[in-house]
Structure 1
Amino acid sequence: MPIQAASHIAIGVRDMQKSLDFYRDVLGMHVSLDAEEELPALGDAPPLKRRGVYLRWREGPHETFIVLDQQLSREPFGEPAGLFQVGVHHFGFWVDDADAIAVRAEQAGHPVVVRPVNGDTLAYGEPSGGVVRSAFLRDPDGNVVQLDQRVRPHP
């Protein structure tokens, strides 16, 4: 059976409140669950206690969600990949107003890496001729978050 949709993105965070301020208050997602959990060993990760905050922008059985994951049994470690490095170097969201969100992010103290700019839909795996307005932000842990606003669909 083919993939139906992206399920979720799990993001390890150092400071849950700062991350909630960004994903909930700046990007406009809503919390669907906030829970502390004891997780068993998974792969090469040892058992740990964590706080998982699940954020959604829409409800539904195949709607993608985000999990903010703060380790409670040990100090968070590691750094996110830089833009265009090996690994997941950014993730993007379709939005209604990239400019307004970029302003809100900046006012809240989150870096805007690339201010909103128009680009061709070819960069989104679609035929050329449409316009998408994009901006790049950094979340509190340094992950690059892309905002994409469809300005004009491809012909």
Structure 2
Amino acid sequence: MLPETNHHPEFQITRASHVSLGVTDLEASRDFYRDVVGLVVTEETDDVIYLRGLEEAAHHSLVLERSEVAKAHRVGLRVRSADDIVAAEKHFKAANIEYQRVERDHQGPTLQFRDPVGTLMEFTSEMDVVERKMQNFNEFVAGAPQRLDHYQVVTYDVKTATEFWTGLGMRISEYTAAGDDDELWGTWMEVKGNTHDLVFTNGRGPRLHHFAFAVPDGQSLLHAADVAGALGKGDEIDRGPGRHGISNALFLYLRDPDQHRVELFNTHYQFIDLETPPIRWDVTNPRRAQLWGMPASNRWFFEASEFPGEGVNEPLLKATPETLEAYLGLH
């Protein structure tokens, strides 16, 4: 039986918001996200660079932090107001969830916490407001990413992760399962009305598999791939272009200089009406991963960014995915 959404949570999550990455070469990472991906640099200091999509009015959706070791520092979500931060504190205290209130530059009240499967998260209720550039078409470069849309986290226990987040108001739009009892292998969950804000898939975790920016159209994906090739970063195209079965999205995945993975995608559908059931994909159905395009490589399936201080656990469910190497008969 699928975990049920709590439609009346004690606080309101509104969307995927921002991600913080530890990077070992700050300038190289800035150049990658600005020139290859196409993000806007909002602000730079000696140790931190803030970037955003072209239509975003929030100060940042990607934070690059100079670090000796490349890790995924935090996955960020927005809540409706400062009152929701207070309500989240009360809820986490009652539920014995580790949390702390912190000060983060350019953010309002911010609450950091660890979910039950070890994902390092933070909520904030507001950010400094900056200029939208959605009509500055002369600044649309590479993939012209518009806004941060979602995250995918690899976890050793999809069921526990899903129960926690549906308990906080997220709805399952699509899921992968096996058997008559719907053994969960992956869940796509949303709060903002399209197919996902937060995804959990089975594997060695907790690790951040990728974060994703929406782009204007399919041509933007091809242009990003061309730009990556022209700038000598073609080998960092990790997967695609192609079209997912789950979410129906066109996609392109790239790896940054520290091998953090970013997705550019287009064409989500709406998932708003409460009577609409989630779509079930059997874990054996290859169309869930792509309707067309080559299978993903070993590194797409098995490599991801670890969270600092969090041990990586072996998954409860075991599987051998269909990889590009297997498809081509390579070892």
Check whether TM > 0.5. Answer: yes
Matched position secondary structure for 1:88: strand
Equivalent in the alignment of 2:42: 32
Tell me how far apart the structure 1 counterparts of residues 64 and 23 of structure 2 sit (CA, whole Å): 6
Equivalent in the alignment of 1:99: 222
Matches within 5 A, 1:33-112: 33-36=43-46, 51-57=47-53, 58-61=55-58, 65-71=61-67, 76-78=68-70, 85-86=204-205, 87-96=207-216, 97-110=220-233, 111-112=236-237
Gapped regions of structure 1 (runs ≥ 5):
37-50, 125-130
Which has the larger share of helix?
Answer: 2
Equivalent in the alignment of 1:113: 238
**Aligned residues of 1:137 and 1:144 also touching (Cα < 8 A):** yes
Tell me how far apart the structure 1 counterparts of residues 56 and 253 of structure 2 sit (CA, whole Å): 25
Tell me how far apart the structure 2 counterparts of residues 78 and 22 of structure 1 sit (CA, whole Å): 15
Q: Structure 1 residues 142 and 104 mapped into 2: Cα distance closer, same or farther (>3 Å)?
A: same
Supply the RMSD in Å over aligned alpha carbons.
Answer: 2.7
Tell me how far apart the structure 1 counterparts of residues 209 and 269 of structure 2 sit (CA, whole Å): 26
Equivalent in the alignment of 1:138: 255
Matched position secondary structure for 2:12: coil
Equivalent in the alignment of 1:39: none
The percent identity for this pair of structures is: 30
Tell me how far apart the structure 2 counterparts of residues 78 and 66 of structure 1 sit (CA, whole Å): 15
The alignment covers a number of residue pairs equal to 126
Between 1 and 2, higher relative CO (CA 8 Å, sep ≥ 6) is seen in 1
Does 1:8 pair with 2:18? yes
Which has the larger share of strand?
Answer: 1
Gapped regions of structure 2 (runs ≥ 5):
1-10, 73-152, 155-200, 271-331
**Aligned residues of 1:12 and 1:69 also touching (Cα < 8 A):** yes
Tell me how far apart the structure 2 counterparts of residues 93 and 78 of structure 1 sit (CA, whole Å): 21
1:49-85: per-residue Cα shift (whole Å, max 9, x none)?
Answer: xx11000113425x761001113xxxx1256799954
TM-score (norm 1): 0.69
